[in-house]
Homo-oligomer: A and B are copies of this chain.
């Protein structure tokens, strides 16, 4: 199964790695000049697409859901999906929800992004400005709520409080793709593929932290496509040269010759931080 880990979450590992003298470059910390994280995008695409499939599944009565088919059938109104966030996760979720035939609302505060989505999305996707008023107005007529707000390097903002969730009908489903950054829905906490759901006030919560792990064939290929240019640089130029020539790759350097070169890791264990530029100089 596809997995990845973070130094900051495991002190023993980190210290062992430091002693080994090996060089560690972390996918998830490679960052471009526009603060985008190119090696996380594929996972966001997979998670966004999966979030709606999973939501559809847990709307089934068997799992406590409302027993609504996302796309309805001729003569029966389809379910309504509300997606918080129009970035990569939200856009991919909207494509799938639209393809399944649901009536879809996608919310964002970035009007230029909404304009683009309005131009390229199928007609059952409606773009709506994201604010408390609109979210509250939509919740009573939302069968599936997707949390898709991720702010690189920061906690996701809490857009939906436990109280607001009370406006949703019993048996509705919440999927929070941002859950491993704290989630943008207050009642969400990480779950696993083995025990993916729990209920709060009759609302099903699906909050698997590592969704893409369920489809490793697709996820691994997607990730490999994204990492490939960096792998080629490392192989062709050597690690040191590659780091010197590519400032974005350098941002991914976490440990180099026994030094911690990422503040997230040094902060976590109160160890000494060396800037990556200085470490490889």
Q: Chain A: residues with CB nearer than 8 A to chain B?
A: 1, 38, 41-42, 45-46, 49-50, 53-54, 56-57, 59-62, 66-78, 91-92, 95-96, 98-101, 103, 105, 109, 111, 114-115, 117-120, 122-124, 126-129, 131, 193-194, 213-219, 221-222, 225-226, 228-229
Q: Which B residues are in CB contact (< 8 Å) with A193?
A: 62
* Distance between Cα atoms of A16 and B230 in the complex (Å): 50
Is the Cβ of A53 less than 8 Å from the Cβ of B57?
Answer: yes
Give chain B nearest CB distance to A122 CB in angstroms: 5
Is the Cβ of A96 less than 8 Å from the Cβ of B71?
Answer: yes
Give the residue of B42, B59, B69, B214 whose beta carbon is less than 8 angstroms from that of A73.
Answer: B42
Q: Which B residues are in CB contact (< 8 Å) with A214?
A: 60-62, 67
Copies in the complex: 6
Q: Which B residues are in CB contact (< 8 Å) with A78?
A: 126
Is the Cβ of A123 less than 8 Å from the Cβ of B120?
Answer: no
Q: Which B residues are in CB contact (< 8 Å) with A45?
A: 73-74, 115
* Distance between Cα atoms of A193 and B67 in the complex (Å): 13
Task: Give me 24 A-to-B residue pairs in the complex whose CB atoms sit less than 8 angstroms apart, sorted by A's number.
Answer: A42-B75, A53-B56, A53-B57, A53-B70, A57-B57, A61-B216, A67-B217, A68-B215, A69-B218, A71-B95, A71-B96, A72-B218, A73-B92, A75-B111, A75-B127, A75-B128, A76-B222, A76-B225, A77-B105, A103-B126, A122-B123, A124-B124, A129-B221, A129-B228
Q: Across the A-B interface, give the 10 residue pairs with the lowest CB-CB distance, nearest first.
A: A99-B99, A123-B124, A129-B225, A75-B129, A69-B218, A67-B217, A74-B118, A45-B73, A60-B214, A67-B216
Q: Which B residues are in CB contact (< 8 Å) with A99?
A: 71, 96, 98-101
Is the Cβ of A215 less than 8 Å from the Cβ of B60?
Answer: yes
* Distance between Cα atoms of A225 and B131 in the complex (Å): 9
Q: Which B residues are in CB contact (< 8 Å) with A60?
A: 214-215
Q: Which B residues are in CB contact (< 8 Å) with A123?
A: 98, 101, 122-124
